[in-house]
Structure 1
Amino acid sequence: MRPIKKNTDPQLKPFARIKNPFWKIDNWKDILQMAIPIFIQLSFNVIIAQINIIAINHYQNGVYADAVSKAVLTYVTLQFIPTLIASGSLVVCGNLIGQGRTNEIGKVIITGIIINFAITSFIFIFVQVFASQILDLMNAGQFHEKLPNGKTPKVFTISYYRLLNIQLLVLSLSQVWISGLQAIKKNIHVTIGAIASNIVDLIFVTLVLFAFNLDPIWSALSICIAGVVQLIYMLVMNLKLIDYKTHKGRHINFKMAKETFKVGLPIALEMGIWSLCNFATGTAIAHLVIGQGGETSNPWIVLHRSINSISQFSFAFMQAMGTVTAVMVSRKIGEGKINEAYQAGISCWKTAMYASIFFGAFMLSFAYLLLLMFNHTPQQIIPWGFSLMAIISLKLIVDTVNMTLLRACWAVGDLWYPLIISIITMGIGMVGLPMMIVYGFKVYEGMGLILIYLGVVVDPLLRSIIYSTRWIKGTWTKYAKQIS
């Protein structure tokens, strides 16, 4: 790594480099041109996931909904693992492209794939072996009456969870190839791959649950089969669009591995800690019903999963903006243009802020109808469902900094300070407060869920204040370097 030559105005004062009023966005066309294909891809993923949830919620009157919710929420906790190297690869590739070293991207991708698959395989074996103990934390053994397929809820949940985990191995490969395509701004192919795979997912779930009426356990394989379809398409597009021939036989590059791992590790740790804290939040929600509270299900964790799924459509644009921010800022750093990197981060933040207001209003407007689609009763939706959607809309707004300026800090190499802040704020908002509400104050049912949601908002609110201040003041500039 080599330092970037200092610019003529090294002292970044608050808003000193913002050329336009705060309401005006620089390069908004370029930002949306990159963000929309990613958003379409992620939105399609969300839509299919929601259809899957609706299907399982309606299948045999929702008798499997509680078990599937616990398995899926636990699986989601591990989805950060394949991003360990993929996130680092995206930043490193962007930096190299900014320097005009596009022919070296192939080395980054191949090296990243090998490391990512090795790490994910180790964790995959671990969670498969200890699946029962992990799901005990999610209260998977709360209910004992056998399901229609003859299995107890816990046995079904464990089997479903183990099948879902196979997707981790698929993602460990496809995510790195996706990062390569995103770095060269070929997001359209990522979108095509996602759409094709999700169509396969939808067809498979429909055949298992409704056409052949098979054991619903096999519906867990839908995302794995769909993931393989996406994997194949990503491989074909990588071979077509990225230069793997120039360094043929010399793709394993320890220098690139070091840079990718150095960038990817703190990013993955931040995502991992968030996932674990999110799991802790889910654990608290899983204990909102005392005893069995019914024969086979906890209605609050099912409601939580439904709201979480609906809100993913709105958060999809925030995720797209995170990727765009990382690509734009890392490229500017590669070019040695700190001022323009600063402006790119601010512009992406503004865009995300406008989008969050729009999507928040959209979710609130259609909350009742959407929750009805997920097979929730009017008594659940009002007041509980609507109140929770309002809190999620607020969280979406305060999360814009974390999805843009935090990604900008990562792209310039400002990695460890944000991680420390994240550990503290997530520990408070996502673990401490939810556990205190359930186990300390013993607030259960709907009111307990509302208080947990309010507690969770504390995390992004605190982080937003800290990260925005750090970016605007220019504290991050001392970490900005070009990859040598």
Structure 2
Amino acid sequence: MKETNTKKLTLFALTWPIFIEVLLHMLMGNADILMLSQYSDDSVAAVGVANQILFMLIVMFGFIATGTTILVAQYLGSKNREIAAEVTVVSIGANLIFSVAISMLVFLFSSKLLLLMDLPPELLTEADSYLKIVGIFSFVQALVITMGATIRSYGFTRDAMYVTIGMNIINVIGNYLFIFGPFGIPVLGVEGVAISTVTSRALGLIVITILLFKRIEEPLPFKKMFRLPVSHLKNLLKIGIPSAGEHLSYNTSQIVITYFIVMIGTEALTTKVYAQSLMMFIFLFSVAISQGTQIMIGHQIGAGKVEEAYKRCIKSLRLAILISILTAIPIAFFSDTLLGFFTDNPDIIALGGTLILFTVILEPGRSFNLVVINALRAAGDVRFPVYIGILSMWGVSVTVSYVLGIHFGFGLVGVWIAMILDEWLRGIIMLYRWKSRIWVTKSFVHDKAS
């Protein structure tokens, strides 16, 4: 088993299942949007705003999962497999307690959270219904994320992919049943989409739990959970909290920008949702490459192979930039046709096409951040990306979005220009950080050993 795991750690072997998994995660979200678009454009806008809050929850749940990915990979690289199993148990327990508490808060205060975003009154009822149903069960997604992170760090990226395939199929079937109402099934619209989302995640949790126990050869010490070293939780938080800070800053800034877009109008909000749905298919390659790279660099850092880790990041970055450009150009060329699958509103299609054209410039910049920031995290350098991220997201993305989009009246085009400036500025700074090799001294495994 150990020898097999070592051989699996090539970028292609790790990345292609992650690519399929991320693609299907995106398809799951887009299936909701595509099917709801046949039901109502207002429903699409309502779910889009509710999802902004839910995405923030996933980021909050993901901070422990991020720490799990890096610590497990580093301990496996240094052959400390028993400690890797201990970290797994601590991360699952911690995320369960945290996510249940957050799920309850979202359920109780869902309408207030939506009102904070100045949601139009006609969208509030549907958005609140969706947020309540998905929000109260969001702890299920937290556990799926944590267990998936562990399985991927052990090299079993295909297992996580298979689980996502199953969840995607169940979600699409549920959407079809509740939106179109075949066989006399009641048409539930947004509420039905929420029910199918929750059901698919619950079944996914059952399967990934079984795989976790099947794939990890060391016994997982759940019985000793409260007797395990506190240092595991501290290390998880040392990595996870700064990493979550960067993601939380990004998602919070996106909520503020969404608030600006709500000021422009419901049609602008719907256009943003459709355009970003297509953009996801451009940057998913970079997401997959960055996650595969993070696992590889974690193992390499744990094994003390610093030069291999350095070269791996640079090679992955070049690959991600190339693929993002080659993907963005044809999607921009056929944007009118692709947007036509979502809506027949000519104004939305025209503006959405312009935004996708700007995305050809945006996505290479995003590749810098996805790949290099994940590489820095894998090496233990987790705070610097947060500091730069907060400064750039709020100082550039949010500020310029308001100045160009609202003050000067450029609307969504101004928002997209702000996003381009933010991604490229952060990306270039992150690359300079990686080339400085400051991260060499920040490995958690070697800190402990020393």
Structures share a fold, TM > 0.5?
Answer: yes
Q: Distance in 1 between matches of 2:23 and 2:11?
A: 17
In the alignment, structure 1 residue 188 sits paired with structure 2 residue 158: yes
* Aligned match of 1:388: 355
Q: Distance in 2 between matches of 1:302 and 1:167?
A: 26
Q: Which amino acid aligns with 1:416?
A: R
* Aligned match of 2:3: none
* Aligned match of 2:175: 205
* Aligned match of 1:471: 434
Taking the TM superposition and a 5 Å limit, the aligned residue runs for 1:306-325 are: 306-325=274-293
* Aligned match of 2:421: 458
In the alignment, structure 1 residue 218 sits paired with structure 2 residue 197: no
CA shift in 2, pair 1:267/1:462, >3 Å:
same
CA shift in 2, pair 1:393/1:222, >3 Å:
farther
Q: Which amino acid aligns with 1:408?
A: A
Correspondent of 2:243 among 237, 256, 267? 267
Correspondent of 1:335 among 293, 303, 306? 303
Measured against aligned partners, the alpha-carbon deviations of 1:124-147 in whole angstroms (never above 9, x if no partner) come to 23333332222123322x244xxx
Measured against aligned partners, the alpha-carbon deviations of 1:312-332 in whole angstroms (never above 9, x if no partner) come to 122222211221121111111
Taking the TM superposition and a 5 Å limit, the aligned residue runs for 1:43-442 are: 43-59=23-39, 61-140=40-119, 142-144=120-122, 153-210=123-180, 211=182, 212-216=185-189, 217-245=191-219, 247=221, 249-252=223-226, 253=228, 254-289=230-265, 298-382=266-350, 384-441=351-408
Q: Which amino acid aligns with 2:187?
A: L
Measured against aligned partners, the alpha-carbon deviations of 1:336-361 in whole angstroms (never above 9, x if no partner) come to 12111111111211121121112112
Greater mean deviation of Cα atoms: 357-366 or 367-376: 357-366
CA shift in 2, pair 1:248/1:73, >3 Å:
closer
CA shift in 2, pair 1:99/1:51, >3 Å:
same
Q: Distance in 2 between matches of 1:131 and 1:117?
A: 21
Aligned length: 434
Shift of 1:68: 2.3
Shift of 1:247: 4.3
Q: Which amino acid aligns with 1:136?
A: L
Task: Assess if the C-alpha contact under 8 Å between 2:78 and 2:303 holds in 1.
Answer: yes
Q: Which amino acid aligns with 1:278?
A: Q
Equivalent position SS for 1:78? helix
Measured against aligned partners, the alpha-carbon deviations of 1:290-318 in whole angstroms (never above 9, x if no partner) come to xxxxxxxx111111101111111222222
Q: Which amino acid aligns with 2:208?
A: M
Q: Distance in 1 between matches of 2:427 and 2:330?
A: 23
Q: Distance in 2 between matches of 1:245 and 1:65?
A: 45
Q: Which amino acid aligns with 1:238?
A: L
Greater mean deviation of Cα atoms: 114-123 or 201-210: 114-123
Correspondent of 1:31 among 4, 8, 11? 11
Q: What is the TM-score of this pair, normalised by structure 2?
A: 0.92
Equivalent position SS for 1:422? helix
Task: Give the structure, 1 or 2, with the largest relative contact order (CA under 8 Å, sep 6 or more).
Answer: 1
Q: Distance in 2 between matches of 1:67 and 1:481?
A: 43
Shift of 1:52: 1.8
Share of identical aligned residues, percent?
A: 22
Q: Which amino acid aligns with 1:80?
A: V
Task: Assess if the C-alpha contact under 8 Å between 2:46 and 2:127 holds in 1.
Answer: yes
Q: Distance in 2 between matches of 1:51 and 1:313?
A: 13
Equivalent position SS for 1:192? helix
Task: Assess if the C-alpha contact under 8 Å between 1:285 and 1:449 holds in 2.
Answer: yes
* Runs of 5+ unmatched residues, structure 1: 1-26, 145-152, 290-297
Task: Assess if the C-alpha contact under 8 Å between 1:367 and 1:389 holds in 2.
Answer: yes
Q: Distance in 1 between matches of 2:406 and 2:112?
A: 21
Shift of 1:98: 0.6
Correspondent of 2:411 among 442, 448, 465? 448
Q: Which amino acid aligns with 1:178?
A: G
Task: Assess if the C-alpha contact under 8 Å between 2:103 and 2:137 holds in 1.
Answer: no
Shift of 1:251: 4.2
Task: Assess if the C-alpha contact under 8 Å between 2:358 and 2:416 holds in 1.
Answer: yes
Shift of 1:156: 2.3
CA shift in 2, pair 1:435/1:126, >3 Å:
farther
Shift of 1:236: 0.7
Task: Assess if the C-alpha contact under 8 Å between 1:401 and 1:468 holds in 2.
Answer: yes
Measured against aligned partners, the alpha-carbon deviations of 1:230-262 in whole angstroms (never above 9, x if no partner) come to 111111111001135274633442221111121
Q: Distance in 1 between matches of 2:27 and 2:303?
A: 38
Measured against aligned partners, the alpha-carbon deviations of 1:455-477 in whole angstroms (never above 9, x if no partner) come to 12121111111110111121222
Task: Assess if the C-alpha contact under 8 Å between 2:271 and 2:352 holds in 1.
Answer: yes
Give the alignment's Cα RMSD to 1 decimal.
1.9
* Runs of 5+ unmatched residues, structure 2: 1-6
Greater mean deviation of Cα atoms: 425-434 or 233-242: 425-434
Task: Assess if the C-alpha contact under 8 Å between 2:81 and 2:218 holds in 1.
Answer: no
Equivalent position SS for 2:264? coil
Measured against aligned partners, the alpha-carbon deviations of 1:56-92 in whole angstroms (never above 9, x if no partner) come to 1111x53423322222233223220110110000000
Measured against aligned partners, the alpha-carbon deviations of 1:207-233 in whole angstroms (never above 9, x if no partner) come to 111122422223212221111121111
